Amino acid sequence: MTPPPPADRAASQPVPDRALDLGLREVIGGEQPPDLRDAVVDGLRWDSFDGTSDRKDGTLPAPRSSNRWLAAAVVMLGLGAVIAVLATRGEDAAGTNQTNQPAPRADRTAQDPVALEAHDPDPMSRALEVRDLAHFHELVGAIEAIEFIPWKATFANAVHDYIRARPDDHEWERDPATLARWMRDLTASTDRAPHPRRLQDHRCLARLWLNDPGTDEGRYVLVGLTPDTPLAVARYGTVDLPTELATEWGQKAIALARAGRLGRGLVYSGSELLHLDVEIREVTARGLGDADMRDLVPFRKLARLDLSACGDVTQEGIRLLCDALAERRDARNGWGSITDLILPDGIRLGAPSLPRFSDLGPLHRVRCAGAVFAAESVVHAESRVFPGSLRSLDLSAARLTEPWLRALLRGLQIQELVLDGTEGLDPSAVLTIAAQQKLTSLSLRNCSSLTGTDLGPLAALPLTRLDSSGVTLTPTSLRAVCGIASLESLGVVGCGLGEGAVDELLRADSLQELRIGPGPADVGRLTALRHLRRLELHLPHGRTAADLSEILDAFRTQLPRCEVVLRSAW
Amino acid sequence: VREWVGRHQGSVWRYLRFLGADPDVASDLTQDAFLAALRAGAIERADPSAAALLRLSARHRYLSLLRQRHRRPSHQDLDEGEAAWQWFAGQRGDGIDGALDRLRSCVATLDPRQQHALHRIYREGATHRELGTDLQLQPEGVKALLRRIRARLRACMERRNPTDHDTASTSS
């Protein structure tokens, strides 16, 4: 899936251009309006009994807008058994809850478990009405995971369809890995967790562990939670549970997420750091500044710190954090153990003095996207910038010179290096890279300053992945690259490959994945690469899949296990 | 109801997109607008009147949403979105579907290189830099290419017949 051009751009365009932009997204980009007919009809049906007239006691806190939620809040799955819960304790409580419940669908009586069971075609399903919140709480052993999904009119349908399309076995009731995968799939359109203040606009898709009453066993269920609407769990249909219950659980889920008890925290300001659990292991921050860095110190188990969207954090702020952590560690052994660090995008590193990154902990991965490395003189000839534990360094779009690269890599044995789109490197950088004798993954995409550079020195490395797309390769370089015996993945898109390139590529017999194009013309011969599992062909300008039918046929017949992907077809 | 919703839903959704709503928000607000319009009996109205009512309802809901999210609605943005909608969908009286058909025809009149550029950007999400690499153009060259494409499409959309290659007024 390819991202459309940013929507915000439209606002600043002249009128016709804005119109054309949106039109082209549909005509060419394939953006299509959704089919909302079912959702509207469903909404009307709910309208007919959402029932302000039935709620004369006013107990249902249902402003008009939340009725909409109610309508769509028919969520999803539960598995093998419709969830649900016990109807036992307290007729009084039951009575109270019933008044809080939305009216049931006409064809399904949630208040009547017998009726529901009869409706459900699955004999495994059981439905018990929730009449006692306290008892329900006893059933729930733990909220194990929560994902947030922006509210969508079609959400309920999407979830329902997704679950119904899954194989009809019940193993996932006890398989958190499957559920985790489903949650990821279902929330794939969400690129980040919502701002805590906007959680009201989101649904929670939560994985709960329910204890089976009277036994030591239990099962996982996925439930939809919202802070102000009924919780609904269903396998083949929908069971509506009391608003009060959903409200409480929705709020609890949000509180858990805010408190970071799930091991992750997302903060938008320094003050929000105060609400996170000190045991938190990951923090993703937006909008922090240098002054907030010291507030990260209490998180003694912090392992991953993402500051990529904290444009106000400078080198000075990082240095403050390093110093504070070092100080705390002196006082309490074991304090501070960050392994993954994502520095603010575009951070400027150099004068007057670099932070002592080793004070942050045993860093394994560091990302400095778009960083500007200035003032080489601040890097002392013998000093090491990053701790020796570092294994992966991402310098995408950074601006740095070869002496800086040498300084950054000094004393390290890294395994993964990303230099995509860097500026300022010269050919001698290849020798610096080649000195990393344990390097297994190298990405040089669009590293234009290395165009035409001899990549021969890289041949001595134990590389399994190399992507030099966008960097023109000389025949000598290609020969050297293809001679790497361990190479499993190679990207040579836009590398200006000419005649004879395929002959060289055929020498890389261990290749499992290849991205190539445009050209050369005889790519069909690549079927001789017997281990190839994925071939991504970038078509020359004006060529279409039809022009490549012979090549595709050749792969289909001679290398059927190889997935062939065509790009740029027009 | 289904048939009526099906007839109008594309237009309302696209209208919200023109105003600046992202696709998910547009979907939600479109549904809301339909529910409100149905409660108001809009289904009894003639199609043009119902469409106008739906758009009005959708616009109000979008404004409310922006306010709820503490985003100050920029009336200039909304007005530009409205103007863009009028320019695109109101030129010939053939509605948004007719405009999209004309745009398809106009794209087909571009030369292959221009079509390729549009495809890379809108279908594959390529950046200008990637497009420049692809077409071996400097950034200025990419910008100039896209400027020329827009000018041609504008002129084509404003002509009576998109397949007519005569020079036409490009006034907007």
Whether residue A31 and residue B23 make contact (CB cut-off 8 A), yes or no, is yes
User: How many other CB atoms sit within 10 Å of the CB of residue A412?
Assistant: 20
Q: Tell me the average pLDDT across B61-68.
A: 76
**Does residue A77 surpass a pLDDT of 80?**
no
| Eight-state DSSP code of residue A84 | B
Q: What percent of chain A has pLDDT over 70?
A: 52
CA distance A187 to A147: 7
Given this model, what pLDDT does residue A161 score?
57
**Does residue A228 surpass a pLDDT of 50?**
no
Q: What is the pLDDT of residues A230-245, one digit of tens each?
A: 333 333 223 334 445 4
Q: Which residue of B has its CA nearest to A29?
A: B123
Given this model, what pLDDT does residue A467 score?
94
Q: Give the least confident one: A64-78, A259-273, B34-48.
A: A64-78
Confidence label for A217 from pLDDT (cuts 50, 70 and 90): low
Whether residue B122 and residue A570 make contact (CB cut-off 8 A), yes or no, is no
Q: Which residue of B has its CA nearest to A16?
A: B84
Q: What is the pLDDT of residues A91-133, one digit of tens each?
A: 333 332 322 232 222 222 222 222 222 233 222 222 233 333 3
- ipTM rounded to 2 decimals: 0.84
Whether residue B154 and residue A23 make contact (CB cut-off 8 A), yes or no, is no
Q: Which chain A residues are within 8 Å of B137, Cβ to Cβ?
A: none
Q: Tell me the average pLDDT across B54-63.
A: 84
Q: Which chain B residues are within 8 Å of A35, Cβ to Cβ?
A: 6, 9
Q: In terms of Cα–Cα distance, which of A542, A546, A550, A551 is closest to A570?
A: A542
Name the amino acid, one letter, at A289: G
Given this model, what pLDDT does residue A413 score?
92
Whether residue B9 and residue A39 make contact (CB cut-off 8 A), yes or no, is no
B28 and A CB contact within 8 Å: yes
Whether residue B103 and residue A27 make contact (CB cut-off 8 A), yes or no, is yes
Given this model, what pLDDT does residue A517 score?
81
Given this model, what pLDDT does residue B87 score?
82
Q: Give the least confident one: A106-115, A299-308, A334-343.
A: A106-115
Q: Which chain A residues are within 8 Å of B85, Cβ to Cβ?
A: 19
Q: Which chain B residues are within 8 Å of A446, Cβ to Cβ?
A: 129-130, 133
CA distance B165 to B106: 10
Q: Which chain B residues are within 8 Å of A23, Cβ to Cβ?
A: 88, 99-100, 103
**Does residue B35 surpass a pLDDT of 70?**
yes
**Does residue B43 surpass a pLDDT of 90?**
no
Given this model, what pLDDT does residue A415 score?
95
Confidence label for A329 from pLDDT (cuts 50, 70 and 90): confident
B83 and A CB contact within 8 Å: yes
Tokens of A569: 């077809």
Q: What percent of chain A has pLDDT over 90?
A: 16
Q: What is the pLDDT of residues A457-500, one digit of tens each?
A: 999 999 999 999 988 888 899 999 999 999 999 999 888 888 88
Model's pTM, two decimal places? 0.48
Of B78, B80, B136, which to mutate for an interface test with A (greatest number of A Cβ within 10 Å)? B80
Task: Find the CB nearest A11 among B20, B121, B135.
Answer: B20
Of A13, A21, A28, which to mutate for an interface test with B (greatest number of B Cβ within 10 Å)? A28
B residues 110-149 near A, CB within 8 Å?
112-113, 115-116, 118-125, 129-130, 133-135
**Does residue A439 surpass a pLDDT of 90?**
yes
Q: Tell me the average pLDDT across A6-27.
A: 69
Helical ranges in A346-417 per DSSP H: 402-409
**Does residue A332 surpass a pLDDT of 70?**
no
Q: Which residue of A has its CA nearest to B104?
A: A27
Given this model, what pLDDT does residue A100 score?
29
Q: What is the pLDDT of residues B2-19, one digit of tens each?
A: 888 888 889 899 999 888
B14 and A CB contact within 8 Å: yes
**Does residue B134 surpass a pLDDT of 80?**
yes
CA distance A288 to A371: 18
Whether residue A33 and residue B5 make contact (CB cut-off 8 A), yes or no, is no
Q: Decide which of A37 and B17 is more confident.
A: B17
Q: What is the pLDDT of residues A376-427, one digit of tens each?
A: 766 666 678 899 999 999 998 888 888 899 989 988 999 999 999 888 888 8
Confidence label for A560 from pLDDT (cuts 50, 70 and 90): confident
B18 and A CB contact within 8 Å: yes
**Does residue A68 surpass a pLDDT of 80?**
no
**Which positions ≥6 away from A353 have C-beta within 8 Å?**
A319, A378
Q: Which chain B residues are within 8 Å of A43, Cβ to Cβ?
A: 31, 34-35
Whether residue A27 and residue B104 make contact (CB cut-off 8 A), yes or no, is yes
* DSSP string computed for A36-79: -HHHHHHHHHHHTTS-GGG-TT--S---HHHHHHHHHT------
Most trustworthy range by pLDDT among A322-331, B41-50, B84-93, B127-136: B127-136
Given this model, what pLDDT does residue A114 score?
23
